[in-house]
Every structure is written in structure tokens, then in C-alpha cells.
Structure 1
Amino acid sequence: MKRLCLLAVAALLTVTAASAAPPTHPLPSFVGLAIADKNRPEEDRALDAQRKPAEVLRFSGIKPGDIVVDLMPGKGYYTRLFSRMVGSKGKVYALQPAEMDKIAPKGLESVRGFAGKEGYANVTVLVEPVNELKLPEPVDVIWTSQNYHDLHDPFMGSPDMAKLDKSLFDALKPGGTLIVLDHAAADGTGVSKTNDLHRIDPAAVKSELTAVGFQFDSESDALRNPADDHSKGIRDPSVKGNTDRFIYKFRKP
């Protein structure tokens, strides 16, 4: 009887401990090493508190050996991290629509400054018209951060989103993933706030991508901010760097 009581107590303690502290997945070492990369500029490191790379990159599922596309890479914050994560057996394509390169050339100048160089030899820059985005080979992951909304803006030539999204779908290997990280607009606003506030309704992203064959896989709340009421532009001092951002993962069957 005494032994049975002890076993019952032990079982109860196990359940209680599990409820109080649910298990967490350890950060893959290659993610941690990418973040700690000594070649990352201070400008990038200063953004880490806002961008939470450990949580975000863990969710991405990118791993050594993968072929990754950083679509509209900005100054290369994620490009550098992906380069380290995929390693020497992987590749990273920094893919910039020509239309964006014309209005924001400084970002790509930054990426060109390290692409193919020591430490980032696996990075290749591609510049193509938005309606003709093509990749030299099938890829494992397409990533776009804080820029999917820009594809709907007049300065991009208002591309046919169904055609563009289908080109992304076709570029992926079967089972490959597309990850969209962007500034959330208010529910029900669709794509109406992409130009003035530089935000997009997450439901609109899901609708567009599933319409061309993507399966919605999962989402991360690592960058969600309930204090952001979605009424201000992303550069407003009250929300700049801390907007409510969603991260959606889609899979090609």
C-alpha cells in the first residue's frame, strides 16, 4: 500500500510539473551560430530585439543544405542569417523585383556587398521583373519579410497576384514552404491598406496563396503585438519597429 501511495504521488508530481512548465524545443545549434556570426554588422544586431531571430528562425524550419529564396531581401538582414543556416551545402538566392530595385537601390547594394564573398559564398543576387520572377532551380523555402504587401502597390506595376503567387508555387519543390512575415492590417481591410499604411490583412494573404494551390501549414505569434491597433502607418514613431506582425507558413503539396 505504501509503495502504491508513493507511486501515485510521483505520478501527480510529474503531471503537475508538466502542466507548470510545458516542454520547449531547444534552439537548433545552426540557428544559434547564425545569430552569433561575428560577421553580422552592428546595424543588424541592433534589430534583433525587435525581430526576435531565435523564435522566428526556429519557426522557419530552414536547415543545413536547403536552397532558400529571400524575396525582397532589403539590406540582407535575413539573407546573412539564412546563408549561415544552410551552410556550404546550401544556397541562398536574394531575389529582388527590378521595380523595387529602381526605387530602393541601397538595400540591394548592401546585399551585393557581401553576396558571394568570404563567409557568404553561397549567396547569389537575382534581379528580375516582378511579372517574370524565375529561379535557376527548384527551391526548398521561399521567404519574404515585411514586403508581401508591397507587391500590391502601384510602384510595383500592380502585378497580377494570382500569376505571381503561382510562379512562387511552381518554384518550390514538392513539400517546399513559403513563409510570409508582414505588418498586419485590420481584419476585413483586405489589400486596401498596402499603399498608405504599408499593411495587409492576414486573411487576404491566406486567401491569395491558397487560391493558387498552397496549403496553409501554421503560424507563429512571435512578433504579434496586441497593443498595435492597426490604424497607423508602419513608420509612425509610436509603432515603428514594433508593429503587429504575423508569420504564416504555407506548403506546396
Structure 2
Amino acid sequence: MKYVLALLLAVALAPAHAALDWESALNGEQRSAENKARDSSRHPRETLEFFGLKEGMTVVELSPGGGWYTEVLAPLVAKDGQLYAAHFGMNISSNGYFRNALGGFLQKLAANNDLYGAVTVTQLAPPAETTVAPAGSADLVVAFRNIHSWMRMDSLDATLAAAFTALKPGGTLGVVQHRAPSGDDLSAMAKSGYVTEAHVIAAAEKAGFKLDARSEINANPRDTADHAAGVWALPPALRGAEEDRAKYEAIGESDRMTLRFVKPA
């Protein structure tokens, strides 16, 4: 009985997770009006809450690109947590796109050291560079709309394995990805940017993850996922015929799956 009472008292006195500063994350000066305008399509707060983000976590963002989500994540975790940004490898000098993307991202961080000073940039360039964070250190790994890119580079398995290694037992992998209709083959998925849920789930399970939950937070039933220019026909890229611009703007951003996986404890 004494043990039970002591346990209940310990739980009652345990510090609660601090409330996340969503106001600074979503409306702070680090975000441009253009980036804020994408919130209605990308639902960053709802998405990160679905993934279980809490104050003080160690988070890894895989392939952060220009840093759209980094701008949101940094003020949420930097105070008491840690954010790893696993960007392109520093040694991929032969690819101008990779070089420019990484350079732009580093410039963004350097321009606001107060906000991004606690962000650690690591390298994700399989097979040579796959240590996205110290092994077993991360509470949450997130991947936003880049599964198709890893498929094209034949690095999906290695990337998911890197995420699995970085996570603590019981940690979470959160994935948002453009969603293809069932039945699309691998070459069509890699080319269009749309990937089937079945393929993402199978790849994550192959890496050792277990599917924990799905959400329709980022679904868009207006998107038929059959555009000649693939997902890039839609905003914000809007690649393709100018006469179709109004049609694609009316569709909005892509239909997306939102999946939560766990690393078994």
C-alpha cells in the first residue's frame, strides 16, 4: 500500500510538459508571409501534435530542404530540447542542386543565431553519411514530402534505417507524403512524386517500424494525382502550362498521407 501511495504521489508531483510556444512558431518573424500562407494546406500544428511533439524532445528533421518546417520546429524545441537537421552531405560537390540547397539552408541558420543556434546540422547522404543524430537519442524523427526523392536516389531503405538507429526505443517516426492511388508502380511513383500508402508502410516496416496511426489532416480530395507534371503541377511549384494555372491553384496543394510509426521498445 505504501508503494502504491508513493507511486501516486510521484506521478502527481512529476513536472508536466511545458506548453509549446505555437504563437512564436507559427507567427514569428522568422517566417515569411508566403510560408505562413502554406499553413492552411500543410497544417503544421495539427501535424506535429499528431506526431506527439512535446517540449524538451530531441527531434530529427530529415532532408529539411529550404527549412519550411525548420522555421516552425526550432522555436518549439530549441529552449529545452534539441533539433537535428539532417541535410544533404557536405561532400556531394558534384551536384549543384544539393550544394545550393545546403548552402541556402546554412545561410538561413546563420542569419538568426538566436533562433537556430541550437540546431545541429548533420549529413544524410547514403550510403556514406547516415548518422542523422547519435544512435538512440531522438524522441521524434520527421519526414515531410521527401519519400519520392529517396526512391529516385535509391536511398529510401538506408534513410529509414538511419531514422530507426537515431530513435530511442519507443520513439516516433512521422511521415507526410504526397499520396498516389493504389496500384501505381514504383517508377511512376518516383517520377510523379506521389507514393502509395502501402509502399510507404511496407518500407517503414522493413526498417523495423510499426504503424501506429494514420491521419487525414493533410488530405485533399480535390487532387486527382494524375497531372502531367506530377505533384509539381500544383502549388507552390505550379510547373506546366500557364493556361492550366487557375485549375491547379483551385486544386491547391497535393493530397497527402500522414502516418505515425513507432520503433518497438
TM-score (norm 2): 0.76
Decide which of 105, 109, 124 is 2:103's aligned counterpart.
Answer: 109
Decide which of 173, 182, 189 is 1:187's aligned counterpart.
Answer: 182
The 1:234/1:41 distance shift into structure 2, 3 A limit, reads: same
| 1:80 and 2:74 are equivalent in the alignment | no
The 1:46/1:172 distance shift into structure 2, 3 A limit, reads: same
Q: For the residues of structure 2 that align with 1:60 and 1:148, how far apart are their CA atoms? A: 17
Q: For the residues of structure 2 that align with 1:220 and 1:32, how far apart are their CA atoms? A: 24
Q: For the residues of structure 2 that align with 1:234 and 1:70, how far apart are their CA atoms? A: 22
Q: For the residues of structure 2 that align with 1:196 and 1:172, how far apart are their CA atoms? A: 30
Which 4+ stretches in 1 moved above 6 angstroms?
A: none
Q: Measure how far apart 1:136 and its partner are.
A: 4.1
| 1:251 and 2:258 are equivalent in the alignment | no
Q: Do the aligned partners of 2:84 and 2:133 also contact (CA within 8 Å) in 1?
A: no
Q: Do the aligned partners of 1:190 and 1:203 also contact (CA within 8 Å) in 2?
A: no
Q: Measure how far apart 1:152 and its partner are.
A: 0.8
**Cross-structure match for 2:196:** 201
- Structure 2 gaps, min length 5: 1-18, 239-246
TM-score (norm 1): 0.79
Cα RMSD over matched residues? 2.2
Q: For the residues of structure 1 that align with 2:188 and 2:256, how far apart are their CA atoms? A: 14
Q: Do the aligned partners of 1:150 and 1:194 also contact (CA within 8 Å) in 2?
A: no
Q: Measure how far apart 1:49 and its partner are.
A: 2.4
Decide which of 232, 235, 256 is 1:235's aligned counterpart.
Answer: 232
| 1:162 and 2:131 are equivalent in the alignment | no
The 1:106/1:44 distance shift into structure 2, 3 A limit, reads: farther
Q: Do the aligned partners of 2:173 and 2:260 also contact (CA within 8 Å) in 1?
A: yes
Q: Sequence identity of aligned pairs in percent?
A: 29
The 1:239/1:55 distance shift into structure 2, 3 A limit, reads: farther
Higher alpha-carbon deviation: 242-251 or 98-107: 98-107
The 1:143/1:102 distance shift into structure 2, 3 A limit, reads: farther
Decide which of 24, 36, 52 is 1:45's aligned counterpart.
Answer: 36
Choose 1 or 2 for highest CA Rg: 1
Q: For the residues of structure 2 that align with 1:76 and 1:150, how far apart are their CA atoms? A: 16
The aligned amino acid for 2:173 is L
